[in-house]
Chains A and B, each alone.
Chain A
Amino acid sequence: DVKVTQSSRYLVKRTGEKVFLECVQDMDHENMFWYRQDPGLGLRLIYFSYDVKMKEKGDIPEGYSVSREKKERFSLILESASTNQTSMYLCASRTIRTGDRGYTFGSGTRLTVV
């Protein structure tokens, strides 16, 4: 089975800090995604990457950036954390090589900004 690993399950950071959320997948998937999930708002796409070194803005990229220097790793960066970035962050990956195009999600990082 594909494994998508997010480095932290819970994280507490201070306002203004630079925050790095790491995601690693072990099945050579081309595409990787970062979502945030908030009550009443569902899952919203922040950034995605079709392949290494590539990145595309999702629906809510403001205040975030990403890095994908290696195929297996996709990092989400909060340049200057703010309290409205308190949320559950979910990383996902998928391959386009097979007929099943579903995403596999990591276990999530619950970030609290104080």
Chain B
Amino acid sequence: QKEVEQNSGPLSVPEGAIASLNCTYSDRGSQSFFWYRQYSGKSPELIMSIYSNGDKEDGRFTAQLNKASQYVSLLIRDSQPSDSATYLCAVIYNQGGKLIFGQGTELSVKP
């Protein structure tokens, strides 16, 4: 059973701080990695995708991938209360494969 693991949280950070969200996955054949944000009662929204080792930055968000350690992370700089949501890590294991989700980490940014 291929698995994606996240700490469920809640993770609480003060406004303006860096929030660090972590995810591990079980299968070394994984090729594509995604971070989704989900507000309460809403559907998941894709915020970052990463396919190769290293960092990928988009505004206040940075995704980091380390395939050797089977680890992917999301950093949110200058966290805002509007970033308070559940963040879902998701992995595709092959070109045509299905997306496997972690349980999600609840982030709370306190003003």
- A14–B106 Cα distance when bound, in Å, is 33
Output the nearest chain A residue to B92 by Cβ-Cβ distance: A101
CB distance from A72 to the nearest CB of B (A): 18
B103 on interface, CB distance cutoff 8 Å: yes
Residue of A nearest to B102 (CB): A42
In the bound complex, do residue A33 and residue B46 qualify as a contact, i.e. CB atoms below 8 Å apart? no
| Mask: chain B, 87-103; 1 = CB below 8 Å from A; 0 = not | 01010100110110111
Residue of A nearest to B34 (CB): A102
In the bound assembly, the distance between CA atoms of A105 and B43 in angstroms comes to 7
Q: Is A86 an interface residue (CB 8 A)?
A: no
Smallest distance from the beta carbon of B34 to chain A beta carbons, Å? 5
Residues of A in contact (CB 8 Å), total 21
Instruction: Report whether A104 and B46 are in contact in the complex, using a CB–CB cutoff of 8 Å.
Output: yes
Contact with A along B30-50 (1 / 0, CB 8 A): 001010000000111110010
Distance in angstroms between the alpha carbons of A58 and B99 in the assembled complex: 10
Smallest Cβ-Cβ distance to A102: which chain B residue: B46
Which B positions have Cβ atoms within 8 angstroms of A? Answer: 32, 34, 42-46, 49, 51, 88, 90, 92, 95-96, 98-99, 101-104
